[in-house]
Amino acid sequence: MTLRRYISTCFLLLCTLVPAVNSKEPAASTEPLSVQRACVWKIQGSSNTVYIAGSVHLLRQEDYPLPSAYDIAYQDSARLYFEIDMAEMNDPKTIKRMQKLGSYSARDSLRRHVSPGTFRLLAAHLTSRGLPTLLFEQMKPGLLAINLSSMEAMRMGARADLGLEVKYHQLAIKDGKPSSGLETVEFQVTLFDKLNDREQDRMLRATLEKIDDMQKILAGLIDAWKVGDIQKMDTLLNEEFKEDPKLKSLLIDKRNQSWVPKIEEAFLGSENVLFIVGTGHLVGKGSVIDLLQKRGYFPQQMNSPVVKAVK
């Protein structure tokens, strides 16, 4: 089942549910060593430039400094777009709304929608982490799978407040740059509702069966992301989706197709624009980059100087 890799590495949907906004940014280096690729693309239009940057939504302190192409794209842009409006994400009312949308009613529960075997796996995993099963019984499988995966990421020090969305939203506020979202919170939270109980059970079970590998998978993804290795990232994020085309269509393809017209609209203005979205949307066949190329655009993958930390 492919979603174990998608959830554990890309965190495209809900890993920035409760981003901390007061974290200290790791110190940047000033000692360049060489040049390497970054997961940032530059598209020159007739009157402006559009940048598309790939995000890993949860990062670690050790992943800083970020590849410099991200700051170059940010500094050259007057407006930012994220997957969802980060200002909305920081509203406490949003958290309550997301929890409600991602949970069953008081008269319903997870037990009624997943198999006994899957529920036993869940209970065993939660016990191993010192967590009460009762705390999660009202969550729908999609939101639960992402929460479990995010908790595993946090065990290795990966946090939303270190992710690109929080970093650049904070900078945009400081610099007075407007930002908005490509999708709504409601859309993302209810995506999994399009799967039936059997499909959601399979998804949750696959997540639980491979959850002990998630830290290793995420570390491998971050390593590939930092050096702009799009071939490796394509393999990590998309290759196994071939086994489940319906899931890929729901979580990746249809969303990519809906974003491309919005990106094209940016070329109608005179301001440079930066889009920051999950890296899984930017690599491989059917990606945003692939779709833009097929529409006659010429995205150029950017380079970054490689730096080492100054002690």
How far apart (Å, rounded) are the C-alpha atoms in residues 222 and 23? 20
Q: How far is CA 217 from CA 1, 10, 124, 210, in A?
A: 15, 10, 22, 10
Find all residues with CB under 8 Å of 82, minimum gap 6, and list them.
165, 169, 179, 180, 181, 182, 276, 277
How far apart (Å, rounded) are the C-alpha atoms in residues 232 and 225? 9
Q: Are strands 31-44 and 49-55 parallel, antiparallel or unpaired?
A: antiparallel
Give the Cα-Cα-Cα angle 31, 222, 228 (nearest 5 degrees). 65
Burial pattern 195-210, b for ≥16 Cβ within 10 A else e, equals beeebbbbbbbbbbeb
pTM: 0.86
Domain boundaries defined on the chain: 3-91+158-193+215-308
Looking at this protein, which amino acid is placed at residue 113? H
And the tokens for 198? 């059997």
| Predicted local confidence at residue 248, as pLDDT | 85
Best CA proximity match to 275, nearest among 84, 82, 89, 88: 82
pLDDT in tens, the chain (311 residues): 333 333 333 333 333 233 333 334 444 444 445 678 999 999 999 999 999 999 988 999 999 999 999 999 999 999 999 999 998 887 888 888 888 899 999 999 999 999 999 999 999 999 999 999 999 999 999 999 989 988 999 999 999 889 999 999 999 999 999 999 999 988 988 899 999 999 999 989 988 998 988 888 889 999 999 999 999 999 887 766 766 788 888 889 999 999 999 999 999 999 999 999 999 999 999 999 999 999 999 999 999 876 554 44
CA dihedral 285, 290, 291, 297 (to 10 degrees): -170
How far apart (Å, rounded) are the C-alpha atoms in residues 141 and 303? 39
How far apart (Å, rounded) are the C-alpha atoms in residues 40 and 26? 21
| Predicted local confidence at residue 18, as pLDDT | 32
Measured in residues, the chain has a length of 311
